[in-house]
Amino acid sequence: MFKRLPGDEARNLVSTTPDTAVVFRPAVVQTPAFITLVIYAWRFVSALVCTLWRHPVACAVPVALGALWALYGWPLAASVLGLVVLALLGWAFIARDSFARLVGWRLLAWWRLMAVYRRHWQAVMDVSGLARRIHGRAYMPRLVKVQCDGWADRITVRMLDGQAVKDWTDRTDNLAQGFGTVSCRVALIKGGRLMLTFPRSDPLAEPIPALPIPDEPSVGPVEIGKQEDGRPLKLKVHGTHVLIAGATGAGKGSFLWDTIRGLLPAMRAGLVEVWALDPKLMELSFGRELFQGRYAADPADCADLLDEAVSVMQKRAARFSGLQRSHTPTVEDPFVLVLVDEVAFLTAYQPDKQLRQRISAALATLATQGRSVGVGVMAALQDPRKEVMNIRNLFPDKIALRLDESEQVDMVLGDGARDRGALADHISPVHELGAGVAYMRLETSPEPVRVRAAYVSDDDIREMVALFTERGEAA
C-alpha cells in the first residue's frame, strides 16, 4: 500500500495510538568535512575580493600602516597616520566642498552602510515582507551600495526576481521606521534596481525670504526657491503650463509672486506681459500696477480677458504658420503669461452657466494651443477634483502644496506619485513649517521633487511695484 520512502519505512508512519502526531524523519546525508571547508574558503575569498574591489582606499590604508609597522616599527606608522589626519583636517577647513565630495560623504556612506543599513537589513526585509522563504530557503533583496550627500542617504537595491516596484512603494513606512528616518522614497533606476532615498535632515524646514530681483531680463526658468537637496528651484514658465494645487494657507501665492518677481526685468524690457485673473480680489490685486491694465476680478471681465488671450494666440498662430514652430520673445511678440488665482471659482463654482462654459473653453484652448506661440497659463486652485478642474491633464507641469486627502496627491501629480514619495497630505499645516512647501512633477521628469518657494511679503510686492513704475516713468 505504501511505497518505500527515504528514512524510516512507511509502516512506521502508521500509529494506532490516539492523538499521536505522525512524524516523518527523512534520511540525512552527511557532507564530508573537506567539501564544507572548500565552500567556506570559496565564500571567504570571494567576499575578500569584492571588498577590495569596492573599497580599495579603505583597504589600502590599514594594509599600508600595518606594513610600515612591521618594517620600521610603530613610531613611523603613528607619525604617518598623524600626518595624514592633519592633512585631511587642513583640507576640510580650506576646501570644504571638495573634501566633502571626495572624502567626507564617502566616509559617511561607509559608516551608514556598516552601522545602519547592513546591520538592520535582514531584520527590516523580513519584518516588512520584502524577503521571501521558499522551500526552506531564504531569498533576500541585495543591498548594492550607499551614497550620501548633505541631506539624504541614497540606497541602491537589487530586487528579487519577480518583485514589482509597487511591492516596495507599499512598504515605504516600514522601511523608513526600520532604518530610523522620517520618510522613504522609491525610484526605479533600471530593470530590477531601485533607489531608496532616506532624508537625514530637512533643508526646507525654515522659511525662505524673497529672492533678489534678477539683473538681466529673461523668460527662461526663473528661480523661485530651493529644492530639498539644497539646489536652487528654477521653474519653467515659457513653453509650458503650470497647475498649482493646495489647501487654504498652503502658500500658493508664493509661487505666483515668485514667478512675477523673477520675470520683472523681462516685463520692464517689454519681453513679458503678465495677465492676471483674480476672482478673490485678495492675492493679485495687491500689485495690479504690474499688469498694466491686464487685470480682471469680475467673472465677466475674466472671461473677456481670456477671450482676448485666445485672440492673441490665434493671430500669432496665423502669422507663425509655416515660418516657425516655437516662440522667441520679442517686444512685438512678448511672452504672455496668464495667471489665474482660484481657477475653480471660474470653472466650477460660477453660478452663470454660460459664463462658466465660456471660461472653461477659453482655458482649454490656451492650454492646448498656447505654449508653442508664447502664451502660457499658470493656474492655482484648492480642490483638484476632476469635476472642479476637468482640464488639469492639459498642464504639463504640476505643483502640489499641502493637500487635505491622500487621494488628491495623485489627482494633481498623476497616478502613483504618492507611492513614489510625494506626501503632500503630510505637509505641516503650521505656517512657518509648511507654507510654500510642495512636491513638483515636471513634464521632463516623472519623479516628484520636494521644494519650497520663497516668501514674498507685502513690502516686497510694494518694492516690485515701485521699481516697475519708476522704470516705466523713466522710459
Question: Binding site for ATP: residue ranges?
Answer: 246-253
Pairing relation of β-strands 445-453 and 222-227?
Answer: antiparallel
- The cell for 384 is 483638484
Residue 381: closest CA among 280, 247, 256: 247
Q: Based on the number of CB atoms within 10 Å of its own CB, is 273 exposed (0-12), middle (13-18) or buried (19 or more)?
A: buried
Q: What angle separates helix 56-72 from helix 74-94, to the nearest 10 degrees?
A: 140
Long-range contacts of 73-78 (CB under 8 A, 24+ apart): none
- Alpha helices by DSSP H, listed for 144-244, are 165-169, 172-178
Q: Binding site, residues?
A: 246-253
Residue that has been written with the C-alpha cell 546591520 in this structure:
119
Alpha helices in 244-284 (DSSP H): 252-268
CB atoms within 10 A of CB 20: 8
Q: How far is CA 297 from the centre of its chain?
A: 35
Task: Report residue 440 as a C-alpha cell.
Answer: 513638483
Contact of 245 with 399, CB cutoff 8 Å: yes
Q: What's the rounded Cα separation, in Å, for the pair 289 and 8?
A: 96
d(CA 339, CA 384): 17
SS3 274: strand
Is residue 97 within a helix (H) or strand (E), and if so which, with residue range?
A: helix 96-99
Of the candidates 88, 61, 91, 89, the one whose C-alpha atom is nearest the C-alpha of residue 77 is 61
Contact indicator for 172, 121 with CB cutoff of 8 Å? no
Q: Which residue in the block uniquely carries the three cell numbers 510625494?
A: 422
- Cα–Cα dist 267/217, whole Å: 8
CA distance 449 to 425: 15
CA distance 177 to 137: 27
The HSE-up count of residue 437 (CA atoms within 13 Å, CB side) is 24
For the CA atoms of 237, 238, 243, 245, what is the dihedral angle to 10 degrees?
A: 10
In contact, 293 and 276? CB cutoff 8 Å: no
Amino acid at 131: A
State how far the alpha carbon of 324 is from the alpha carbons of 239, 319, 332, 370, in Å: 14, 9, 15, 14
